[in-house]
Amino acid sequence: MARKVERGVGLLPKLLLGVFIPIVLAFLIIGVMVFSGVRILGKQVASLREIGTESLKELGAVSLKESQTSLNALGEQIIKEKALDVAAQMDVYLKSNPKLKREDWTRDPRLKEIAVQKVGETGYTAVHDNKGINYFHVNPKIVMTDLHNLYEKFPAFGEILEASLKGPAKGYYDWPDADGKVRPKYMYLTPIKDTDLIVASTTYIHEFSKPSRAIEAKMQQIENRFLQEYENKFQIFYAIIGVVLIVLLLVIYFYSRSVIDPIRYLSEVADKISMGDLDTPIKIKPKGEVAVLAESIERMRESVKAAIERLQRRKEKK
């Protein structure tokens, strides 16, 4: 450049070069920072591309963790409410049939129908006494067996069950799924009033976090598409990157809101039901797994309300 000036380069070329060269250098520096990073004082500084990718992954991980935590908490509440619901129903039935003997419990179809109910997609309720003897179970082979026999194979299950012999208990334990994979289950146990019976409600907790896995898959698709465009459209990167980021953030924001808002609402409804407010209607129309949760909570609310009303009517008759 200096030699060009010595050869008589005029003011116009100088101005052009003076503006053009800094712009080119700026783009080169930005390009290096975006795509390959730089080494400063012996330390490698990550490129914006790497930082952006890591930030996107971190955002996905945080969003997934938060949504999964919320969904798991809601799942725990639903499992608990199911146990309480079954305990209340059995209490009403047993008091309504005082002549029903203990040895006839397992042969009573209505009592079995009340004791063994579906929880989530694959879960169920079961009933055992305070000595660990099972009376009602979805698996007929377990009926009238001592659940202590499972303690050695499933120690976490044993700890929860042992705690239930003294009062309400809850916790997680690993259990083999139908496909052979070992997955965590959540179980809540509550005693039946004025009896030595205990209701256990349990299912795989991952059933309630399916929406969060859908978010994870969606975010993975967005990330892959973003990186592919990043590679293939280097020439127009600077023009579209702002728009792409805004679109991505809007998609993630609105998609997350569309999943979490109904779940938060259902969680509030479940909390109200747990506090005794049985007249709270569910005023949302969700789809997919959230719809299953909404229907389960509504059925639970109606069942508990009906059971309490039946109990009150019987008390009034007396």
Q: What is the pLDDT of residues 92-149, one digit of tens each?
A: 999 999 888 888 898 999 999 999 999 988 899 999 999 999 999 999 999 999 999 9
Give the pLDDT of residue 13: 44
Give the pLDDT of residue 221: 73
Report whether pLDDT(162) > 80.
yes
Report whether pLDDT(42) > 80.
no
Give the pLDDT of residue 33: 57
Report whether pLDDT(35) > 80.
no
State the CB neighbour count (10 A cutoff) for residue 53. 16
* Residue of 266 and 100 predicted with greater confidence: 100
CB 252 within 8 A of CB 219: yes
* Residue of 311 and 27 predicted with greater confidence: 311
Q: Let me know if 137 is exposed, middle or buried by CB neighbors in 10 A (0-12, 13-18, 19+).
A: buried
Average pLDDT of the chain, as a whole number: 76
Report whether pLDDT(7) > 80.
no
Site of tokens 């967005």: 222
* Proportion of the chain above pLDDT 70, given as a percent: 63
* Proportion of the chain above pLDDT 90, given as a percent: 31
CB 158 within 8 A of CB 150: yes
Give the pLDDT of residue 188: 96
pLDDT digits (tens, 9 = 90+) for 168-179: 999 999 988 777
Report whether pLDDT(255) > 80.
no
pLDDT digits (tens, 9 = 90+) for 205-252: 888 777 666 666 776 777 677 667 656 655 566 566 556 556 655 555
> Of 256, 246, 260, whose CA–CA distance to 219 is shortest?
256
Identify the top-confidence range among 11-15, 65-69, 123-127, 299-303: 123-127
First to last CA, the chain: 107
State the CB neighbour count (10 A cutoff) for residue 36. 12
Average pLDDT, integer, range 10-35: 48
Give the pLDDT of residue 14: 44
Which pLDDT band holds residue 11 (cuts at 50, 70, 90)? very low
User: What element of type H or E holds 185?
Assistant: strand 182-191
Q: Phi and psi (nearest 5°) for 123? A: -85, 175
Q: Which fold has domain 53-210+259-317?
A: Beta-Lactamase (3.30.450)
Give the pLDDT of residue 179: 74
Task: Give CA separation, 120 vs 167, 182, 206, in Å.
Answer: 24, 18, 10
pLDDT digits (tens, 9 = 90+) for 44-89: 555 555 555 565 566 656 666 777 788 888 889 999 999 999 999 9
Which pLDDT band holds residue 267 (cuts at 50, 70, 90)? confident
Which pLDDT band holds residue 159 (cuts at 50, 70, 90)? very high
Write down the domain spans for the chain. 53-210+259-317
Give the pLDDT of residue 171: 95
Report whether pLDDT(269) > 90.
no
Give the pLDDT of residue 314: 77
